[in-house]
Amino acid sequence: MRKSKCTMSIPAIIESFKNGMSSNEIAILANVSSRYINMVLQKHNVDRQPHSSWLRKYSVNEDYFKTWSPTMAYVLGFFAADGFLPNDIQIISFSQKDPKILEDIRNELQSTHPIKTNPRTGVHLLNISSKIMKEDLIHLHGMIPKKSTTLEFPYVPEGYLSHFVRGYFDGDGSINFEKRTVSFVGGSLKFMEQLKKRLEFYSFEPFIVSKEKYHRLFLSGRKTVCNFGNWIYRDKNLYLLRKHLEFNKEKLLPEQLNDRPIKITKAAVEARKAKLLDNYKLKADLTEACKSVNIQIQTFHRWLNNDEDFKLRFNSIDVENHIIK
């Protein structure tokens, strides 16, 4: 039964072990228990040196997550996106396709732990053994094992919010400069809704589009994207260079820019529907909601007639607002 769940081949497991990964690290990557990994190694007569000492080989600043700083806020945001807490071992884990940012985070944590590479996916992994750091992430910052669908937005002091958002953006965000959009993706709707509220405070007008198990938060418009980039990279410390360079393609100043209506694509229409519903829920004014996404009332009625899901969501909000049509 366990074997069928394994996401790594037996040759890959053996190769990873011979390259210095522990049974626990391989188990995390392969989605099985360390006991199963040890059984595979024993069955194939792999010479096993004691790995219990690997936990003591490396050093790290175990109190790192106890004190707020701009860099700590970034690392926490990055962990919220691309971090992992195993249930049964005292490890915190960061993963990324870009090894440079993991090297920067490792240096920031004053860690000597190695960065390993999953031979199956090419994803780089930084595993840090520390019970103290794991408990701080859980008890001080609300990080939890299997957090992808249940994570809530942690408490972040206002002065560190842009750094936290930059870290989360580097983990689970993207920018499309040509289409003038920034997006975040995640499995926790609650986290996205709370992020949306924090960004609204800065007048970014984000909106969320949910599809099956994933939720995307969008910012759109040339001026909006420019202002967002200026905000998250102000007083920057750690950051992914390739994403920063995308924002630097903008050559005009914010005051020279204007946002334009969203292009009419399937994804954009869904985004506009979501934004209309958000506005209607907030103000209970259909005319104002239509204006917020630059559509005529006839377009709204066409959406209502042709999109059953949109109709259900609108009617649900209508009931909440106690408006009888």
Domain holding 192: CATH number? 3.10.28.10
Q: Residues 261, 234: one domain?
A: yes
Q: Residues 263, 217: one domain?
A: yes
* 3-class secondary structure, 184: strand
The residues, any chain, with a CB within 8 Å of residue 242's CB and separated by 6 or more, are: 98
Residue 119's pLDDT band (boundaries 50, 70, 90)? confident
What is the pLDDT, as a whole number, of residue 190?
94
Q: Residues 172, 263: one domain?
A: yes
Q: Give the C-alpha separation, 208 to 84, whole Å.
A: 24
In a domain, 42, yes or no: yes
Q: Give the C-alpha separation, 181 to 108, whole Å.
A: 30
Q: Residues 88, 234: one domain?
A: no
In a domain, 304, yes or no: yes
Mean of the pLDDT values across residues 73-78? 98
Share of the chain above pLDDT 90, in %: 52
Locate 181 and state its tokens.
């959009």
The strand order across the sheet containing 115-117 reads: 83-84, 91-96, 124-129, 115-117
Q: Residues 301, 172: one domain?
A: yes
In a domain, 31, yes or no: yes
Q: Residues 76, 200: one domain?
A: no
What is the pLDDT, as a whole number, of residue 53?
46
Q: Residues 112, 193: one domain?
A: no
* 3-class secondary structure, 151: coil
What is the pLDDT, as a whole number, of residue 261?
57
In a domain, 57, yes or no: no
* 3-class secondary structure, 83: strand
Q: Give the C-alpha separation, 104 to 239, whole Å.
A: 9
In a domain, 56, yes or no: no
Q: Give the C-alpha separation, 230 to 53, whole Å.
A: 46
The pTM score is 0.72
Phi-psi map region of 20: left, alpha, beta (phi>0 left; psi -120 to 50 alpha)? left
Query: For residues 193 and 208, is the Cβ–Cβ distance under 8 A?
Result: yes
Enclosing domain of residue 126: 63-139
Side chain identity at residue 143, one-letter code: M
Q: Give the C-alpha separation, 286 to 304, whole Å.
A: 13
Domain count for the chain: 3
Domain boundary among 139, 170, 203: 139
Q: Residues 100, 240: one domain?
A: no
Mean of the pLDDT values across residues 316-324? 72
Q: Residues 112, 240: one domain?
A: no
Q: In the chain, what is the straight-line distance between the N-terminal and C-terminal CA atoms, in Å?
A: 56
For residue 27, how many other CB atoms are within 10 A of its CB?
Answer: 23
Domain boundary among 89, 110, 139: 139
In a domain, 153, yes or no: no
**pLDDT, tens digit (0-9, with 9 covering 90-100), for 36-46:** 888 998 888 88
* 3-class secondary structure, 312: helix
In a domain, 152, yes or no: no
Locate 175 and state its tokens.
């920018």
In a domain, 94, yes or no: yes
Residue 147's pLDDT band (boundaries 50, 70, 90)? confident
Domain boundary among 96, 112, 139: 139
Query: Vertex 177, ends 172 and 183: CA angle to 5°?
Result: 30
**pLDDT, tens digit (0-9, with 9 covering 90-100), for 266-311:** 667 888 888 899 889 888 899 999 998 889 999 999 899 988 888 8
Q: Residues 180, 312: one domain?
A: yes
Identify the DSSP state of 135: H
At residue 116, does pLDDT exceed 60? yes
Per-chain mean pLDDT for the chain = 87
Q: Residues 195, 129: one domain?
A: no
Q: Residues 178, 281: one domain?
A: yes
